[in-house]
Chain A
Amino acid sequence: MVGPIYIIVIALGIAFTLGLLGKASKSAGWVFVLAGLAAMTFISAQWLVALLEGSIQGIQIFTAGYKPPYSISLQMGLEEAILTTLINSLGLLSLLYLGKEMVQKGVEILMVFMVFIMSMNVTIMTRDIFNLFVFLEIETIALSGLILLIGRKTAFQAGIKYLIISGIASGLLLIGIILAYSHVGTLDINGIASANNGLFRIAPIAGFLILISFIIELKPFPANGWGIDVYSASHPGIGALISGASATTGLYLLYKVLPVAGEEYLYFITLIGAITFIGSNLTGTAQSQPNRLLGYSSIGQVGLVTMILGLQPILGDRTLYLAFTIIISHYAAKAGLFWISGMVNSSSIKDWSILRKKPLLLVLFGAFILALIGFPPFPSFNGKWEILMKLGESNQYHWIAVILAGSFIEAIYLIKWLGYAIKLDEPVENQSNFHLTKQIPVWIMGLVLFGMGYYLNPFTHYAEAINYIPLLFALLLFAIDFLPVSIKNTITIAGLAYYFMLLWPAVEGDLLRQIFLVMFLGGGILTLLAGYSKKGKRPGFYSMAILMYAGLAGLLTAKGMYDFFFSWEVMTAGSYFLIIRGKRSLPHAYSYMLFSIGGAYLILGGFAIAAASLNGTSLSALSMVTVLPTWVYALIAVGFMTKTASLGLHIWLPGAHGEAESDVSPMVSAILLKAGVFGLLLLFISIGATNPHSQEIWYVLGWIGAITTLMGNMSAAFQEDAKRLLAYSSIAQLGYILFAFSMMTHIGWLAGFTYTINHFLFKAILFLIIGAIVVKLGTHNMYEMGGMIKKMPFSFIAVLISIIVIGGIPPLSGFAGKWLFYNAILEKGWYFQGALIFFAGIIAFLYLFKLIFSVFLGQVKDNHRNMKEISAWVLIPSYILIIGIMLFSAFPKDVLTPISEMIMPYFTSETLVWDGTKAMTSMGYWDGSTIMIVVGTAFMLLLGWLIVLSAKAQKVEQFNIVYAAERPFRPETTHVSHNIYAGYKKAIGFLVSPVITVFWDQASTFVLDFAGWIRRIYSGSIQNYAIHVIFYIVVFYLISLGGL
């Protein structure tokens, strides 16, 4: 074991020796320092490994050989080992990254760099408060030097701001230290802290001064303009160090001096953290310069960790672990992001699309962003989860709200940025430089992030059930991304099929999950079949599809809230990357992601409050919520409703589904939406039909469902874009489903299941076929299509059957849903909602006719005369689904009876009885099979009758019509399709005026304007920044000590 003191010896020794090297051997100096940092990393890492293994205990090092408090002592325990390892390794990688710049600028900056790293090591290890002050000053001064690396003129401005503000902070610290010394006669931190519990308490003012100076060093919002300037003025490589090392150190120091100040400050620490977390992220939303944006984000994350430290009494002995999960994610992600920023080398986040030239970096960029927001499988996910659960258990709901709100606001700009990188056009001119030595550190940080996600998982006891196989499979698919589409498609389908068989035993005997498993994975396989029609490589597609399906399947196997939410987030991430692939998907994928994240956080909030009931975090615990049950249920329900796109939360769907790639649309529409349905079902089952806390919720949800349906169908009728029409139709169908399940009656649920299954079947068909046609015809606009029945008869038949199902026309299975609906509504007594639903159902005919007429009927357009049928790879899955529809229509009993039995236990009485093939309720009866026979027979007879009458009907050519006494010869004048419901729109179109879109638009504008307004306090003036800091100190003083 090499003593930790040698870290300092090596660092200073090398720093001093560099002066001997002179100017001649610049790169030799760089290598020398690199070796030194490697040695330092090695020393701290060996301590870390040994301490983790438990082979040794942490030690205290007494300088000068005297015990504390008489001399300065350093401590090397687990915490110190972790942090010094992080800092030294980051130093090492940073130096590697900054190699060229450093070598150019000469030995002085190398010396500064070395001393900077050394100073952080000492501040972490030292147990003497004055020594802490000294090395904090060293860190400050070294940093003010490192800012200059880039040679920008603005760096000098940032530097002086930084020096002045930290000068004030350290001055106050010094006053606090001497006051403390005058009271307890020691400078040892442990000594002061233990004295605090005894007789010689340090004065409150001393504690205050010590604490506030460390807080100021953490750049609390809003007194942090100087800190952000430092981020934006310095080289991104230095930014990585500030964010990854300096901020981490600062947080640990705050933790270290907290006992000195006393426990009564914990609440204020939490408050400061909360304000910083929200305020800094909010300000970040209006930012477009990458380094500055990262600065805001860093400060926000520091605020979050500060909160965690302040919440010690609640988090207990998990505090440090939880803080670590956030810190490590932030450390790796932020370092990586800063480094990428240095490579992209642009002043606008819009130029990051250049990253697409480096797929690996782009993937890592995505991983970093997701890690910052707190997606699985990164450590921050576990951390946030456990924090929220613990807060919930202690009834700290306001802090839950703060953490979720802050995380959401952070997602606003991070996701925007990610989208820009994935979708925007590559910049015309760029100064990017993807040198290998710059890329390697980023790769390593990516590895660290994933590795830590895996390594830290066992430390969260919730996380035992997580299945990593699908995630690894996604990774594998990414590794073979260079292969052509057909091979990857086959592998993916095989993977899904295997996974299906793997999971089937797990859901054996649980019909609910079986149904959804068939929909999720079976549907997945079918929609993937259509992928064979695609050409090229589709980079990244299959990994993301697997991610989504893995998440979906994970929802089904989840036993606890944790694995449920884990899968939920995996699914969200995967689907986001699928959706954003569409040509014009950028804004829609963005709003999809924001709504999804917002919804996920509501679910998380609900779970956290549910944890307050102390029934554990298994999903079944939701049925025993005793604390604020109505809130829990409402939050979770609204969370799921963001996925089912219910009214008010639906504005993302039309664009996201409409603009997605042709085979992604059926995935996200027919399959993904069902995840929300499954979630709602789980919730409803947990709540139970007779739960007194949820009756109002169901009533409200019922109305929402009904209005969603009406608005969805009406909007669909006014669409000109074929895929958007289908998207609005999805909104409406999900409205039906929400309504049906909200009734919470046996027959209502049967209706809900019928609708769910039907929607899965017909929406997959429609999106597959219409999507393929849209691609083939090269337009989304239905009025530019027409007459395709003659070119694509198979597509026409499939669409026709789907439409009959949607319309609920007997004899197909859609009618089963309508019939069950009527009975359910009458039984439940929701007459007006029901009337609305049926009104909406009839409006559906408007868009159904428009769809099939505009695309398939009417006159063929000139440029489509040579069209052929769409690819068989699209038709095959469609016709498999049609077989499903036909079976369901002819034998509804065989599907509905098991479902009926399955949901029986949740309700008091079974209201649907079967007599042979005839279904009966107390209200009415319906015999699907007989109707099939009667209609089939009669239809054949009538067809025969007509054939007898006009067998020799002569086929005529196109345009064989007379129109206004002219024979037309242009299809455009004859194919009436654009805005055909003009009269209808004139009459009641006002109902679908986009008030909700306007509402959300204005909400987002408001947030951005607000952020823009807040950030005006960062006026750039040194004087103002100093005023902010002093103001902050005075206000904090008045609140905490002044009795305000």
Chain B
Amino acid sequence: MEQVIIITGILLIILGIFGIIRSRNLVKIVLAFTLFNTGLNILMISIGYIRNAGAPILSQIPGQGEIPNIVDPVPQALVLTAIVIGLGVTALMLAYVLKLYQDKGTLDINSFKDLKW
């Protein structure tokens, strides 16, 4: 079962990169990028998973030498940060795309080759 999660994550990552290098539409590129990000997050969250362990919220302070049966809280914290960063980057990308669209009236990447060589 866990394998499915990882494979999903990896496939999303591959799909995302494929989308980035394949799409000609800027919005699609941004979407592909979010796919890529989602895949990443899935991978991250699954790394902390421990079979049959609970959520990392304790009802009492664990005693000396006692290890609560919880999953690793660290990847969860990391993924939280990663999601927010992804959100910020995506928002910014979309703003850029909007700006570019306003500029040229198209989303085709081949219209944005003013800078080259």
Residues of A in contact with B (beta carbons under 8 Å apart)? 130, 134, 137, 140-141, 144-145, 153-154, 156-160, 163-164, 167-168, 171, 174-175, 177-178, 181-182, 187, 225, 229, 232-233, 286-287, 292, 1015-1016, 1018-1023, 1026-1027, 1030
Q: Across the interface, do B47 and A164 meet the contact criterion of CB distance under 8 Å?
A: no
Given known pairs A171-B36, A174-B82, A175-B40, the reply for A232 and B115 (CB within 8 Å) is yes
Residues of A within 8 Å of B81, CB to CB, are: 130, 134
Residues of A within 8 Å of B116, CB to CB, are: 225, 229, 1018-1020
Contact of B114 among A141, A154, A287 (CB under 8 A): A154
Q: Is B17 an interface residue (CB 8 A)?
A: yes
Q: Across the interface, do A171 and B37 meet the contact criterion of CB distance under 8 Å?
A: yes
Q: Across the interface, do A130 and B47 meet the contact criterion of CB distance under 8 Å?
A: no
Q: Across the interface, do A1023 and B92 meet the contact criterion of CB distance under 8 Å?
A: no
Nearest-neighbour CB distance to chain B for A176, whole angstroms, equals 11
Q: Across the interface, do B26 and A160 meet the contact criterion of CB distance under 8 Å?
A: yes
Q: Across the interface, do B88 and A1020 meet the contact criterion of CB distance under 8 Å?
A: no
Q: Across the interface, do A141 and B92 meet the contact criterion of CB distance under 8 Å?
A: yes
Contact of A1023 among B21, B40, B44, B82 (CB under 8 A): B21
Question: 1/0 per residue B20-54: CB within 8 Å of A?
Answer: 11111010010001001100100110010000000
Chain B, residue nearest A1019 (CB): B116
Nearest-neighbour CB distance to chain B for A115, whole angstroms, equals 12
With contacts A159-B96, A168-B36, A1020-B115 known, what are 12 further pairs, Cβ within 8 A?
A137-B88, A144-B92, A145-B92, A153-B103, A160-B97, A171-B13, A171-B36, A174-B44, A181-B74, A233-B115, A1022-B29, A1030-B21
Chain B, residue nearest A160 (CB): B96
Q: Across the interface, do B21 and A1026 meet the contact criterion of CB distance under 8 Å?
A: yes
Q: Across the interface, do A178 and B96 meet the contact criterion of CB distance under 8 Å?
A: no
Residues of B within 8 Å of A182, CB to CB, are: 47
Nearest-neighbour CB distance to chain A for B12, whole angstroms, equals 11
Q: Across the interface, do B112 and A157 meet the contact criterion of CB distance under 8 Å?
A: yes
Nearest-neighbour CB distance to chain A for B22, whole angstroms, equals 8
Residues of B within 8 Å of A157, CB to CB, are: 100, 112-115
Chain B, residue nearest A230 (CB): B115
6 tightest A-B contacts by CB?
A1020-B116, A1020-B113, A229-B115, A160-B96, A157-B112, A1015-B117
Question: 1/0 per residue B75-117: CB within 8 Å of A?
Answer: 1001001100100110011001101100100000110111111
Nearest-neighbour CB distance to chain A for B94, whole angstroms, equals 10
Nearest-neighbour CB distance to chain A for B43, whole angstroms, equals 6
Contact of B17 among A137, A181, A1020, A1030 (CB under 8 A): A1030
Q: How far is the CA of A140 from the CA of B96 in the complex (A)?
A: 14
Q: Across the interface, do A181 and B47 meet the contact criterion of CB distance under 8 Å?
A: yes
Q: How far is the CA of A358 from the CA of B91 in the complex (A)?
A: 45
Q: How far is the CA of A1018 from the CA of B114 in the complex (A)?
A: 11
Nearest-neighbour CB distance to chain B for A64, whole angstroms, equals 13
Q: How far is the CA of A1020 from the CA of B78 in the complex (A)?
A: 35
Q: How far is the CA of A187 from the CA of B81 in the complex (A)?
A: 14
Q: Across the interface, do B89 and A137 meet the contact criterion of CB distance under 8 Å?
A: yes
Q: How far is the CA of A175 from the CA of B40 in the complex (A)?
A: 7
Nearest-neighbour CB distance to chain A for B36, whole angstroms, equals 6
Given known pairs A141-B89, A1015-B117, the reply for A1023 and B109 (CB within 8 Å) is yes
Q: How far is the CA of A164 from the CA of B114 in the complex (A)?
A: 17
Nearest-neighbour CB distance to chain B for A172, whole angstroms, equals 9
Residues of A within 8 Å of B20, CB to CB, are: 164, 168, 1026
Residues of B in contact with A (beta carbons under 8 Å apart)? 13, 17, 20-24, 26, 29, 33, 36-37, 40, 43-44, 47, 74-75, 78, 81-82, 85, 88-89, 92-93, 96-97, 99-100, 103, 109-110, 112-117
Given known pairs A141-B92, A1015-B117, the reply for A156 and B47 (CB within 8 Å) is no
Q: How far is the CA of A526 from the CA of B110 in the complex (A)?
A: 66
Q: How far is the CA of A1030 from the CA of B20 in the complex (A)?
A: 10
Q: How far is the CA of A145 from the CA of B95 in the complex (A)?
A: 11
Q: How far is the CA of A232 from the CA of B115 in the complex (A)?
A: 8
Residues of B within 8 Å of A137, CB to CB, are: 85, 88-89
Q: Across the interface, do B29 and A287 meet the contact criterion of CB distance under 8 Å?
A: no
Q: Across the interface, do A1016 and B117 meet the contact criterion of CB distance under 8 Å?
A: yes
Q: Across the interface, do A141 and B88 meet the contact criterion of CB distance under 8 Å?
A: yes
Which of B78, B82, B117 is the most central at the interface, judged by chain A CB atoms within 10 Å of its CB? B117
Nearest-neighbour CB distance to chain A for B1, whole angstroms, equals 18
Q: Across the interface, do B44 and A178 meet the contact criterion of CB distance under 8 Å?
A: yes
Q: How far is the CA of A1030 from the CA of B13 in the complex (A)?
A: 13
Residues of A within 8 Å of B92, CB to CB, are: 141, 144-145, 163
Q: Across the interface, do B117 and A287 meet the contact criterion of CB distance under 8 Å?
A: yes
Nearest-neighbour CB distance to chain B for A511, whole angstroms, equals 57
Residues of B within 8 Å of A163, CB to CB, are: 89, 92-93, 96
List 16 A-B pairs, Cβ < 8 Å: A141-B89, A145-B92, A157-B114, A160-B93, A164-B20, A168-B17, A174-B40, A174-B82, A175-B13, A175-B40, A181-B74, A182-B47, A1020-B115, A1023-B21, A1026-B20, A1026-B21
Residues of A within 8 Å of B78, CB to CB, are: 130, 177-178
Q: How far is the CA of A157 from the CA of B108 in the complex (A)?
A: 12
Residues of B within 8 Å of A171, CB to CB, are: 13, 36-37, 40
Nearest-neighbour CB distance to chain B for A593, whole angstroms, equals 26
Residues of A within 8 Å of B74, CB to CB, are: 181, 187
Residues of B within 8 Å of A175, CB to CB, are: 13, 40, 43
Chain B, residue nearest A286 (CB): B117
Chain A, residue nearest B85 (CB): A137
Q: Across the interface, do A1019 and B113 meet the contact criterion of CB distance under 8 Å?
A: yes
Residues of B within 8 Å of A167, CB to CB, are: 33, 36-37, 89, 93
Q: How far is the CA of A171 from the CA of B89 in the complex (A)?
A: 12
Chain B, residue nearest A186 (CB): B74
Nearest-neighbour CB distance to chain B for A194, whole angstroms, equals 19
Nearest-neighbour CB distance to chain B for A1035, whole angstroms, equals 15
Q: How far is the CA of A174 from the CA of B43 in the complex (A)?
A: 10
Nearest-neighbour CB distance to chain A for B70, whole angstroms, equals 15
Nearest-neighbour CB distance to chain A for B21, whole angstroms, equals 5
Contact of B75 among A164, A178, A232 (CB under 8 A): A178
Chain A, residue nearest B101 (CB): A156
Nearest-neighbour CB distance to chain B for A734, whole angstroms, equals 42
Nearest-neighbour CB distance to chain A for B51, whole angstroms, equals 15
Q: Across the interface, do A1023 and B24 meet the contact criterion of CB distance under 8 Å?
A: yes
Q: Across the interface, do A178 and B43 meet the contact criterion of CB distance under 8 Å?
A: yes
Nearest-neighbour CB distance to chain B for A116, whole angstroms, equals 14
Q: Across the interface, do A178 and B47 meet the contact criterion of CB distance under 8 Å?
A: yes
Residues of B within 8 Å of A1020, CB to CB, are: 112-117
Given known pairs A156-B99, A164-B29, the reply for A1021 and B110 (CB within 8 Å) is yes
Residues of B within 8 Å of A177, CB to CB, are: 78
Nearest-neighbour CB distance to chain A for B16, whole angstroms, equals 8
Chain B, residue nearest A1012 (CB): B117
